[in-house]
Amino acid sequence: MAAILNLRRARKARARAAARLEAAARAARFGRTAAEREREAREAAAAEARHEAHRREGEGEEE
């Protein structure tokens, strides 16, 4: 025999679990220290500089 299930409690439990998942994702995205954000910005700038350093002279320029 199946256990009796309170649908209201099950719905609320499912909503709480979804909220916890979303909170964890937001914490990972926005919950960084200033040092981590600065390091990430420096790494992005260095990657952009490396990318631009490989650009050929005159390529993509229209005169």
Position 16 scores a pLDDT of 98
Position 37 scores a pLDDT of 87
| Per-residue pLDDT tens digits for 6-47 | 999 999 999 999 999 999 999 888 888 889 889 999 999 999
Q: DSSP states of 4-61 as a string? A: P--HHHHHHHHHHHHHHHHHHHHHHHH---HHHHHHHHHHHHHHHHHHHHTPPTTTT-
**What pTM value is reported for the model?**
0.45
